[in-house]
Structure 1
Amino acid sequence: MTIKKADVVLSSKTVFTGCKNIPEPALIAIRDNRIIAVGEEHDLKQYIGQDTVIHDFGDKLIMPGFHDNHLHIMMGALAMDSVNLFDARSEEEAVDMVHDYAKARPDDPWIIGFQWDSSYWDDKRFPSRSSIDRIIPDRPVLLFHAEGHYTWANSKALEVAGITRDTEDPPFGSIEKGVNGEPTGILIEGASGLATNKAFDLPKAKKEKLMQRFLKEAARFGVTSVNDLFGTNTNKKLQDFELFREFEEKEQLTVRIHLYPPLDGDLKKAKQLREQYDSEKLRVSGLKQFIDGVITSYTAYMLEPYADHPEKQGEPTFSPDTIKKWAAEADKEGFSIRFHAIGDGAIHLALDAFETAQKNNGPRDSRHSIEHVEVIHPDDISRFKELGVVASMQPDHFALSERGVYTSKIGDQREKYVFVINTLKKSGAKLAFGTDFPIDILNPMQQIYRAVTRIDSSGSDVWHPEERITLSEALHAYTHGSAFATFRENELGTLEAGKLADITVLDRNLFKVPEEDILDVKPVFTMVDGQVVFSEELVSK
């Protein structure tokens, strides 16, 4: 039998295929868009022909491409084009940063920012519209909190959005008002949508530029697949599946996109989208919905009241009956469902919904998942394996919020069950990692570092060291785990013959790097579908 020659061969002394826990010397033969062989040099010589291009990476680590299990493409792309306020340590400093940005962008109709977090400010208090009004009174300003579940707006933004003292709170949202009854400028959960409905009405040319920037960023970080999840009604104006298709048709789509439109009871539309988008690079892979909000705004749904505000407990975004009904109906139609659930009450309700679906429709390989899994009741840990539910987590998230502020809200007892990554893994739950970009940056090393160190927001203290996992486990969750969650483990997630050639090369052997240096590691080469989409340092022979 004639052996077909490889188009490309990648080689290194350290190749992490994902099939073993440690890297080994290997060559990877690629033809068209698939891996045709992986092995030692003497076994792969038969695949090397006169026209085969060989890339020898020496000691650099070759591994499966990173698969971000949870992000928001267009929201993240917009964040990259906006002012980042994470380093601000006071309301005044944040306002100064916004002012400088606005002066540099005089033609922008809206000034948009991300990542402010008052838990790191001295007074810990929410900011107000008046501080922005003093320096930008004539242009609308909308600034997203670091967790993305509430916004800080100036008076002009409120005016454009039609928000006044008489505006009623939208479903699962609130317009914060002062003692005088006037809006303070803080819009929580669904209330942010009143402003983003105006701010995010972008022309197509702008969206195209944002998408191009996102693709470049993904390639630079070695991200070859992403799961783009419905991100609340606040960014529905940014969702543009047809834009993604246009990039695919022009052969400009340099990352695989798995779409998760909303689970909202409209299964007719969901099925149409599933039929409409079903290619190797762009497909609907399931449905997503929110069960609660976040801890810092007291919108995460808890089984018991918050420790520092006993009158607050959070509440589900929809009634438990509605959530269970939607889940059972979508499960019956073969959809994989992903629920945002941060509080222990929300996680419990999500598991109950999946259990109800299983009882109604019979057990199947559904691969439903819970997103974030921040504060869990210990009784619910074992239910992930029992119900076949994926734990979709972003390890760096526990270091984004100021730890003392976060834990004061949930109290000492619940603090023991925050981001229990290793406990879930040992219980038999499938782990899948991502970033929730733009809540966190797209760089996978942030998540890997936090998963193996558990260093908290102080930068030095370890938060529950027993919840650390190994490097190979973290990489597996970020590659095969995400592929499994998306029903693509037979095509993606490991380097094996027959799989799609989505490959990343890091600038050094990650397994030999001290933990404190993980954040310095970066990709030098990214391949998607057998094509090089990023190359910083390439040695050819």
Structure 2
Amino acid sequence: MKITTNLIFLFFLSFFLSCTTNKQIDLIVYNAKVYTVDSVFSTVEAIAVNNGVIVEIGDSQDLLNKYDAKEKVDVNGKFIYPGFYDAHAHFFMLAEAMDEVDLVGSLSYNEVLERLKTYVAHNPDKKWIVGNGWDQNLWEDKNFPTKDSLDKYFPDLPIYLTRIDYHAAVVNSKALEKAHLDSAYFVEGGVISVNAEGLPDGILIDNAMQLVRNHIPKNQSSALLKILRRAQDSLLSVGLTSIVDAGLTPDQIESLKIFYNEDSLAIRDYAMVSATDESIRDYLRAGTFESDRLTVRSFKLMADGALGSRGACLLHPYNDAPTNGFLLQDPEEFDRIIKRLANSNFQVNTHAIGDSANRIILDTYGKYLKDGKKRRWRIEHAQIIAPSDFDKFKQFQIIPSVQPTHATSDMYWAEDRIGSDRIKGAYAYKKLLDEYGLLALGSDFPVEHYNPLYGFHAAVARVDKNGFPDGGFQIENAITREQALRGMTIWAAYSCFQDKKRGSIEKGKDADFVILEEDIMKAPNEKLRDIKTLRTVIAGKTEFLRK
């Protein structure tokens, strides 16, 4: 009898313990407004995370009762969104730019020279001076600068200064000497500008830039990791958890593989391989690559240059210059490359700015795509589209990958470049969205600022940081806040084949999310750019925490 009583007691004790012991997990974040960005755009209060994956979302008290978490974060009513995903960026360029002369916002060539003098004075051991960010459209004299003033102040130090769009550079005579560039000649997809005597005047456009750039010493591995980590810190501080690296060399990709294998970087990187005959041969042979943080399954092609440097390829001449711009390769070459890649498992993504470049790439894509929706090929920028070409995004199922801040940066002079008719088909994000059904949103940093809320603001308000112009630039092409948030989360993930594991806050997906101090879905337009990131989480681990 005593044995039976003990057995009954042990049974009920075991049953009681099994009913009251909560499941052990790593993290619960609660007391929040969580925008899941799921199919119905639902909101919840809490997120439960284990082993880097979301195990459940729902009511705060329910999850606290159900789970025993090692870490519990009460966010006191703050706002949570899926980790922001920049669908077009340049990680290495940003890292390098942080060590270079910052020329962004300079209002004259004289200001450029003054910033150079200050930088050289503070960096006397530099063997090359590299700068970035000048924009002649901001100057009273809107002509390209030349090497003459650089030669006057820096006769013995090679200088290489890229325009804000990275599609033109001004260099001095010493840099030309280092590159053995003492005469002008034809460069396919580029221009060596000349003076009245027919000699190089220091301006290099698109493919001609590499003639000098190739002579600038490269960072060693340890130094490269240091500047990438510094750039990463900036990205994490604004809520970015994933980026698309839009065009990397094989050496850069192999460096990333090493760094990620050593757990030296946290941000997720979808790397596009810069398409050359050699890189295509090597990566098709090696096949696609995917780890937890790094993915290599796409190629980046360059169709044309940029509008600001008149390198964008147009169907008709520029409104303010007797040129149509130019392609960076012959159409037959694009056809050959795209045909080859169509028979592989790799995605194809092409930079196209002008309406001619966009038409050529759209038509060439359409020629070889058998199932566009499955392949998810993209056009990067899709900046100026002829009226008859918009429906090709839907017809061929081609994703428009756009950067909203380009519209608000270019709007001051874009109509001067292309005229009042063509401007209606430029930066037409709403029309592109209506055609394809989604947009992949990015920043193109460091061409633009890396803060995704700047792009969010530009997309929904179509004004600059000062609220100009009243009523918004071509406001008919603004998109809604829900669409903008989708564009920088789930739609960006979709454009990289990652929508099943990333881009929304749902059970079974990677625990990548960001906590903001205010609600971007409701804050006034004029406050959007200033909303602070409080915490950035990747795979359940806090990678940034505002002090």
Q: TM-score range by the shorter chain?
A: over 0.9
Map of 2:8 onto structure 1: none
Partners of 1:363 and 1:448 lie apart in 2 by 27
Q: Does 1:159 align with 2:168?
A: no
Question: What is the SS of the residue equivalent to 1:75?
Answer: helix
Per the TM alignment, residue 147 of structure 1 is displaced from its structure 2 partner at its CA by 0.8
CA drift of 1:132 comes to 1.7
Contact 1:5 1:46 (C-alpha < 8 Å) held by counterparts: no
1:17-66 CA-to-partner distances (Å, cap 9, x unmatched) read 112676734100000110000111243235421x5311111232111111
What's 2:70 paired with? 52
Matched, 1:372 2:381: yes
Deviation at 1:141, TM superposition (A): 1.1
Distance 1:469 1:247, change over 3 A: same
Partner of 1:460: 468
- The whole-number CA distance in structure 2 between the counterparts of 1:63 and 1:365 is 27
Tell me what 1:506 maps to. 516
2:458 corresponds to which residue? 450
Alignment counterpart, residue 27 of structure 1, candidates 30, 46, 54: 46
Contact 2:457/2:528 (CA < 8 Å) preserved in 1? yes
Q: Report the Cα offset of residue 459 of structure 1.
A: 4.6
Give percent identity, aligned residues only: 29
Q: Given that residues 224 and 503 in structure 1 are in contact (C-alpha distance below 8 angstroms), is that contact kept between their aligned partners in structure 2? A: yes
Match status 1:528 vs 2:538 = yes
Distance 2:270 2:367 in 1: 26
Q: Distance in 1 between matches of 2:34 and 2:101?
A: 39
Aligned-partner Cα distance in 2 for 1:256–1:469: 27
Q: Is the 8 A contact 1:29 1:47 kept in 2?
A: no
Shift of the 20–61 alpha-carbon distance from structure 1 to 2, 3 Å rule, reads farther
For residue 424 of structure 1, report the CA deviation from its aligned partner.
1.3
1:178 to 178, 188, 195: 195
* Residue equivalent to 2:15: none
Structure 1 residues 424, 362: CA separation in 2 closer, same or farther (over 3 Å shift)? closer
8 Å Cα contact 1:480/1:492 also seen in 2: yes
Q: Equivalents in 1 of 2:492, 2:473: separation in Å?
A: 25
Aligned to 1:515: 525
Change (3 A) 1:129 1:33: same
Tell me, in whole angstroms, the C-alpha distance in 2 between the residues paired with 1:447 and 1:65: 15
Q: Distance in 2 between matches of 1:483 and 1:327?
A: 23
Task: Give, as a single letter, the amino acid of the residue that structure 2 aligns with 1:244.
Answer: L
- Structure 1 residues 364 and 511: alpha-carbon distance in aligned structure 2, compared to 1, 3 A threshold: closer
Aligned equivalents of 1:518 and 1:250: distance in 2?
37
**How do residues 266-281 of structure 1 correspond to structure 2 at under 5 angstroms?**
266=278, 267-275=280-288, 277-281=289-293
Name the CA distance, whole Å, in 1 between partners of 2:256 and 2:26. 28
1:287 Cα offset (Å): 0.7
TM-score (norm 2): 0.92
In the TM superposition, residue 496 of structure 1 has moved relative to its aligned partner by 0.2
Stretch of structure 1 that moved more, 21-30 or 177-186: 21-30
Tell me the alpha carbon deviations over residues 360-404 of structure 1, each in whole angstroms, 9 at most, x when there is no partner. Answer: x56560000001111111211121122111110010012223x34
Show the counterpart of 1:328: 339
**Which blocks of at least 5 consecutive residues in structure 2 are unaligned?**
1-17
Q: Is the 8 A contact 1:301 1:342 kept in 2?
A: yes
Measured after TM superposition, the shift of residue 421 of structure 1 is: 0.6
Residue 396 of structure 2 is matched in structure 1 by 387
Could you report, residue by residue, the CA deviation over 1:151-180 in whole angstroms, capped at 9, with x for unpaired residues?
01112111112111x242322111111001
Please state whether the residue corresponding to 2:502 is helix, strand or coil.
Answer: coil
SS of residue matched to 1:102: helix
In structure 2, distance between residues paired with 1:108 and 1:66? 36
Report the AA paired with residue 334 of structure 2: I
| Mapped partners of 1:459, 1:41: distance in 2 | 38
* Matching residue's letter, 1:354: Y
Contact 1:245 1:282 in 2 (8 A): yes
Change (3 A) 1:373 1:458: farther
Deviation at 1:528, TM superposition (A): 1.0
Equivalent residue, structure 2, for 1:13: 32
Question: Are 2:189 and 2:207, in contact at CA under 8 Å, matched by a contact in 1?
Answer: yes
CA RMSD of aligned residues (A): 2.0
Q: CA deviation at 1:315?
A: 2.6
Equivalent residue number for residue 425 of structure 2: 417
Mark the CA change 1:47 to 1:162 in structure 2 (over 3 Å): closer, same or farther: farther
Match of 1:346 in 2: 357
Output aligned runs, 1:487-506, within 5 Å.
Answer: 487-506=497-516
The number of residue pairs the alignment matches comes to: 525
Q: Is the 8 A contact 1:398 1:457 kept in 2?
A: no
Shift >4 Å, 4+ stretches:
20-23, 361-364, 456-459
Shift of residue 244 of structure 1? 1.4
Match of 1:130 in 2: 148
Q: Which residues in structure 2 correspond to 1:469-484 (within 5 Å)?
A: 469-484=479-494
1:316 positional shift:
2.0
- Alpha-carbon displacement from aligned partner over 1:271-301 (angstroms, at most 9, x marks no partner): 24544x3212112021110111111222211
> Which structure has the greater CA radius of gyration?
2
Matched, 1:304 2:321: no
Q: Secondary structure at the match of 1:5?
A: strand
Match of 2:14 in 1: none
Normalised TM-score (structure 1): 0.93
- Residue 218 (1) aligns with residue 228 (2): no
